[in-house]
């Protein structure tokens, strides 16, 4: 079965094709350069860029891969309404013209299923953790298509905090990889307080405020690496403590990470430590599949079709769709 996936939920336009669950072709257009000058994603600008790039990208991928497709999978939420609706309209047009079925994909589920692209299959029950610019969510994943949200941030997502602090530091959007790179040369660490919150829920706005206060006291750029390290340690230790709590309370065999922030080595190190302590497996996609991409949407759609999920052309987008 050949599934064409479309991702336009935020600022990346992507189209990919999977054949029997294996990625055969992928094209992407990132809008990073365009949004950099605004310091973050401007929804209207993102929609226009999707509108401008979808058709040319489709032409490129169909030039590379000419076989008839069987289905179109498209992200229908969560995400920016304008961006989602453009991707969905485009997907419907293809489904109609090619006479194939359409499936609406949840972006967070796609982040968790990204590991399938590298032939890695989770051992259930798992704890899925999506960490990105828009989400920080812990999801009990007990079988194919069976999810339960268990803990999430009530305010800023971890990637959002990193991008906001990065902006203050003069690092262009998105700041995550540059902050990680900066911290590699840290001689010491400027400590930032961690999350103090009971249960599985999270809040990162306190850490953001504490980090901003600390940063404003810094007088030399030489201290930026130690600050970058302190910021990541505070955010990622807070998250890994929450993960450990879930692992202690539930029977879990494996932890699966997804989302742009999951590419971070400090975070992966902390979660790996929890896994070693509790004798669990850990799966993280390669960095290119952690960030938003259409391959994960295509593979998620493929998995949904195998599970018997089916949509029709009345499919609508849901910008705050929960997994
Ligand atoms: O999943 P993603 O590509 O888009 C959303 O769905 O939000 O995640 C983007 C986020 C941004 O906040 C970016 O700064 C962060 O992922 N990010 C990182 C790293 N690479 C990207 N954060 C920490 N360390 C990284 N290496
Ligand atoms: Zn994402």
Atom nearest to 159 CA in ligand 1 = 12
pLDDT band with cut points at 50, 70 and 90 for residue 119: confident
Q: Is 80 in the pocket of ligand 1 (CB under 6 A)?
A: no
pLDDT at 31: 86
Q: What would the CATH number be for the domain defined by 121-284?
A: 3.30.420.40
Name every residue whose Cβ is closer than 8 Å to that of residue 188 and which is 6 or more positions away in sequence.
226
Q: Could you tell me the end-to-end alpha-carbon distance of the chain, in angstroms, rounded to an integer?
A: 25
pLDDT of residue 268: 98
Q: Which ligand sits closest to the CA of 157?
A: 1
Amino acid 37: pLDDT: 82
Query: Residue range 153-181: average pLDDT?
Result: 96
HSE at residue 111, side-chain half, CA atoms within 13 A, is 30
Ligand 1 pocket check for 77: Cβ under 6 Å: no
| 234-257: pLDDT as tens digits | 999 999 999 999 999 999 999 999
Which residue, by CA, sits nearest to atom 14 of ligand 1?
176
**CATH number for domain 2-113+289-306, candidates 3.30.420.40, 3.40.640.10, 1.10.3720.10, 3.40.30.10:** 3.30.420.40
31-45, 110-124, 179-193, 204-218: which has the minimum mean pLDDT? Answer: 31-45
If you average pLDDT over residues 40-51, what whole number do you get?
Answer: 92
- Assess whether pLDDT exceeds 90 at residue 38: no
What atom in ligand 1 is closest to the CA of residue 9? Answer: 6
The answer on pLDDT for 204 being more than 90 is yes
Question: What tens digit of pLDDT does each residue of 66-115 get?
Answer: 999 999 999 999 999 999 999 999 999 999 999 999 999 999 999 999 99
SS3 labels along the chain: CEEEEEECCCCEEEEEEEECCEEEEEEEEECHHHHHCCCCCCHHHHHHHHHHHHHHHHHHHHHHCCCCCCEEEEEEECCCHHHHHHHHHHHHHHHHHHCCEEEEEEHHHHHHHHHHHHCCCCCCCEEEEEECCCCEEEEEEEECCEEEEEEEECCCCHHHHHHHHHHHCCCCCCCHHHHHHHHCCCCCCCCCCCCCCCCCCECCHHHHHHHHHHHHHCCCHHHHHHHHHHHHHHHHHHHHHHHHHHHHHCCCCEEEEECHHHHCHHHHHHHHHHHHHHCCEEECCCHHHHCCCHHHHHHHHHHHHHCCCCECCCCCCCCCCCC
Mean pLDDT score, 119-137: 96
Q: Where in the chain do CATH 3.30.420.40 domains reside?
A: 2-113+289-306, 121-284
159 lines ligand 1 (CB under 6 A): yes
Ligand nearest, relative to CA of residue 134:
1
Q: What is the pLDDT of residue 34?
A: 86
Cα torsion angle, 101, 134, 265, 269, sign: negative
Q: With b meaning 16 or more CB within 10 Å and e meaning fewer, what string describes 92-124?
A: bebbeeeebbbbbbbbbbbbbbbbbbeeeebee
Determine the distance separating the centroid of ligand 2 and the alpha carbon of 217, expressed in angstroms.
33
What confidence score (pLDDT) does residue 67 get? 97
Q: What is the pLDDT of residue 93?
A: 98
In the predicted model, what is the mean pLDDT of residues 116-130?
A: 96
pTM comes to 0.96
How high does pLDDT run on average in the chain?
96
| 159 Cα–ligand 1 center, Å | 6
**Residue 33 banded pLDDT, cuts 50, 70, 90:** confident
Query: What is the pLDDT averaged over residues 124-139?
Result: 97
Q: Which of 260, 264, 288, 291 to mutate to test the pocket of ligand 1 (most atoms within 8 A of CB)?
A: 260
How far, in Å, from the CA of 272 to the mean position of ligand 1? 19
pLDDT number for residue 40: 82
Residue 270 confidence class, pLDDT cut points 50, 70, 90: very high
Residues facing residue 27 across a β-bridge: 15
């Amino acid at each position: 079965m050949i599934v064409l996936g479309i991702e336009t939920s935020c600022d990346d336009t992507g189209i990919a094709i999977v054949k029997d669950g294996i990625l055969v072709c992928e094209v992407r257009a990132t809008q990073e350069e365009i949004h950099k000058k605004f310091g973050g994603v401007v929804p209207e600008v993102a929609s226009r860029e999707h509108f401008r790039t979808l058709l040319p990208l489709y032409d490129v991928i169909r030039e590379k891969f000419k076989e008839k497709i069987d289905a179109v999978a498209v992200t229908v939420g969560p995400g920016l309404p304008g961006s989602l609706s453009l991707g969905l309209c485009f997907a419907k047009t293809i489904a109609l013209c090619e006479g194939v079925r359409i499936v609406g994909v949840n972006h967070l589920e796609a982040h968790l299923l990204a590991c399938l692209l590298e032939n890695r299959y989770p051992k259930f029950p798992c704890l899925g953790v999506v960490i990105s610019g828009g989400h920080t969510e812990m999801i009990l994943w007990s079988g194919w298509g069976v999810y339960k949200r268990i803990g999430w941030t009530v305010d800023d997502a971890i990637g959002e905090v990193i991008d906001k602090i990065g902006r203050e530091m003069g690092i262009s959007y998105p700041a995550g990889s540059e902050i990680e790179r900066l911290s590699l040369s840290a001689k010491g660490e400027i400590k930032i307080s961690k999350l103090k919150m009971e249960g599985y829920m999270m809040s990162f706005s306190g850490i953001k405020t504490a980090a901003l206060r600390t940063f404003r006291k810094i007088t030399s750029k030489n201290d930026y690496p130690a600050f970058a390290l302190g910021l990541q340690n505070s955010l990622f230790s807070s998250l890994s403590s929450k993960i450990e709590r879930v692992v202690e309370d539930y029977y879990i065999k494996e932890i699966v990470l997804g989302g742009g922030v999951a590419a971070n080595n400090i975070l992966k190190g902390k979660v790996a430590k929890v896994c070693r302590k509790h004798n669990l497996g850990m799966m993280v996609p390669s960095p290119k599949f952690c960030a938003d991409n259409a391959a994960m949407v295509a593979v998620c759609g493929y998995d949904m079709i195998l599970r018997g999920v089916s949509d029709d052309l009345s499919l609508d987008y849901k910008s705050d769709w929960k997994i």
